[in-house]
Structure 1
C-alpha cells in the first residue's frame, strides 16, 4: 500500500515540504523545466511507495502530453496541485478524481 508523499517542483517549492518531513522529492530548477520535469513525473508515478504527489499548478504548463496525462488521470499515486489559477474548483476536481465521488455535491 502506498503511503508516502512526494513533491515535484522548483527547489524553492520543494524545500518547505522537505523541512516538514517529506523525504521523497524531485527538485527541478526553473531553467531546466521541460524534459527534466517530464522525467520527474514519470519516475515519481512509477514509485510504488508514493501515494500522493504534490506539484505547483503552474508547473503543469511545462509538461508534455504523456506526463500531463499521467498527472490528470493517475489514481495511485494521486497528483495534487497547489497554487496557480486552479483555485477551489481545481481542488474539488482533484478530490473527486481521487476518491470517485463529489463531496461538495448539492442535493
Structure 2
C-alpha cells in the first residue's frame, strides 16, 4: 500500500510542504511549467511509494490533455488539488468522494 505524499509545483508551493516533512517534492519553476510539469507528474504517477499527489489547482491547466486525464482519473495515487476557488476541480469534498467512493458529508 502506498503511503507517501508527493507535492508537485512551484518552489513557493512546495516549500511549506517540505517544512512540514514531505520528502517527495518536485519543483517546477513557473517559467518552465509547460516544459517540465508533464514529466514531473508522469514520474510521480509511476512511483509506487506515492499514495497522494498534491498540486495547485491552477497547475492542471499546464498539463497536456493525456497527462491531465491520467492524473485526474488515477485512484492510486489520488490527486488532491489546493488553491481552488471552489470551481474547477469540484472542491475537496468532491476529491475525497472520488478517492474513496463515498460522500462522508452525506446527510441521512
TM-score (norm 1): 0.93
Matched residue, 2:94: 93
Residue ranges of structure 1 left out of the alignment (5+ in a row): none
Work out the number of aligned pairs and report it.
Answer: 107
Alignment of 1:1-107 (within 5 A): 1-86=1-86, 89-107=90-108
Does the CA-based 8 Å contact 2:9-2:59 persist in structure 1?
Answer: yes
Q: How big is the shift at 1:105?
A: 2.2
Q: Distance in 2 between matches of 1:40 and 1:25?
A: 10
TM-score (norm 2): 0.92
Q: How big is the shift at 1:61?
A: 1.1
Structure 1 runs, 4 residues or longer, greater than 6 Å off: none
SS of the aligned residue for 1:34 comes to helix
Q: Distance in 1 between matches of 2:26 and 2:42?
A: 11
1:76-98 CA distances to partner (integer Å, 9 max, x unpaired)? 00110001323694211110111
Query: What is the Cα-based RMSD across aligned positions, in Å?
Result: 1.5
Residue ranges of structure 2 left out of the alignment (5+ in a row): none
